Amino acid sequence: MAAALGSLLVMPVAGIAADGAESRGLANVKEFTLDHSRRLVAQAELLEAGLADYHGVIAAHGGDYAAAWAVDGPKLASQVAAIRALWLEASNHYETIEGIVAGLPATAKYDLILDAGNPGTDAEDVAEYDLQLPDGTVLKRPGNLFHGITEPLFWGMDEKGVKLPADLNGDGKVTRGEMLFDANLGLGAAQALALWSRALEADMAAWKPNREDAFTSVVVMTPTVGDYFGEWKESQFISGEIGAFVAQSRLTDVQGIMSGCRKMYAEALSPVVAESDADLDSRIKAGFEELLALVEDTRAREAAGTRFGAEEADALGNEAQDIAERIVAMVLQAAAKAEVQIRG
């Protein structure tokens, strides 16, 4: 999502010295992002351990999923439920900081690998890594780990990854999503999630926050909101199609991502903008509040049971995109006042 705008670069400007408020704001953004990076690592490692246990049960039965289910069905059902819960927690920690991570040149590659990148069969925005599985198989450029591999696998939406339909909840029926999934792929992907989460944490710890990065992040990420609404429209929550974004509504992710954009502006850029143009700063902050209110209201309505049609989803996405573009236009104006040149 963010990668499509990743070519926006900030020209370094000599002689810009951050004042105390700006320095504190940048430091706060870094600490916030580092905190959730550490939590992401912790959850990813728990997820890896959960997959190792699941893989161990299947391996104990010689890789025979039917035999494993016949003997250890309750244990496997419990493990699948635990894996899904751990996945959700890990994913939500990442989504909370994606609006920052994906917009920073130093960390943008992790967004492609963890959350947003395409497989190598696509022409652009490819997640540049290979995935080695426990049995030695190497998957070349398989796509992003959260929504491209693990979510469809753990929720049974990747038909190739379904090894055995199984009545996980014990109600006497097997519905779509009730199954045992490929333990080899699951463990390999979980190991990769832990590996790349640790790498993100290390690079975030090394990041030296600055004004140029802050402007870049806000300009790159804020206008991606329309893409996320498009994914929401195409998900099972609107269209009935099942694939990625099945674990929870994509709107939950949008809240986290746009909140990160707002935080970057409010903490790191608002002190700079307000110093030269208090009215512009006020209008930008009001724009972010309007955008987040739209997202949060739509998510609350969905959680309360409202069923949105494709046409309404399009209208909401267009409204969000319009607000985002107004915000970016004002941020670009502020960048010009601060002599930070942004080019696409």
Cα(74)–Cα(15) distance, integer angstroms: 64
> What's the pLDDT score for residue 250?
77
> What's the pLDDT score for residue 1?
47
Question: Which comes out higher in pLDDT, residue 115 or 229?
Answer: 115
Q: Is the pLDDT of residue 65 over 90?
A: yes
Domain boundaries, the chain: 1-18+210-344, 32-208
Cα(102)–Cα(110) distance, integer angstroms: 7
The stretch 185-191 carries a mean pLDDT of: 98
Cα(257)–Cα(259) distance, integer angstroms: 5
> What's the pLDDT score for residue 235?
64
Pick from 13-22, 236-245, 275-284: least confident: 236-245
Mean confidence (pLDDT) of the chain: 88
Q: Is the pLDDT of residue 209 over 80?
A: yes
> What's the pLDDT score for residue 7?
38
Q: Is the pLDDT of residue 97 over 50?
A: yes
Q: Alpha carbon of 280 to those of 44, 78, 225, 337, 339: distances in Å?
A: 41, 53, 22, 11, 16
> What's the pLDDT score for residue 206?
96
Q: Is the pLDDT of residue 17 over 50?
A: no
The stretch 108-136 carries a mean pLDDT of: 93
Read off the pLDDT of residues 29-56 as tens digits, 9 standing for 90 and up: 999 999 999 999 999 999 999 999 999 9
* One-character DSSP codes across 178-209: -EEE-HHHHHHHHHHHHHHHHHHHHHHHH---
Read off the pLDDT of residues 195-206 as tens digits, 9 standing for 90 and up: 999 999 999 999
For 60-88, b/e burial (b = at least 16 CB within 10 A) is eeeeebeebbeebeeebbebbeebbebbb
Calculate what percentage of the chain has a pLDDT beyond 90. 66
Residue found by looking up tokens 């049971």 in the block: 305
> What's the pLDDT score for residue 224?
84
Read off the pLDDT of residues 212-271 as tens digits, 9 standing for 90 and up: 999 999 998 898 887 778 777 776 444 445 455 666 677 887 888 889 999 999 999 999
Q: Is the pLDDT of residue 11 over 50?
A: no
In SS3 terms, 80-104 reads as HHHHHHHHHHHHHHHHHHHHHHCCC
Cα(343)–Cα(170) distance, integer angstroms: 57
Kindly indicate whether the domain formed by 1-18+210-344 is annotated with CATH number 3.10.350.
Answer: no
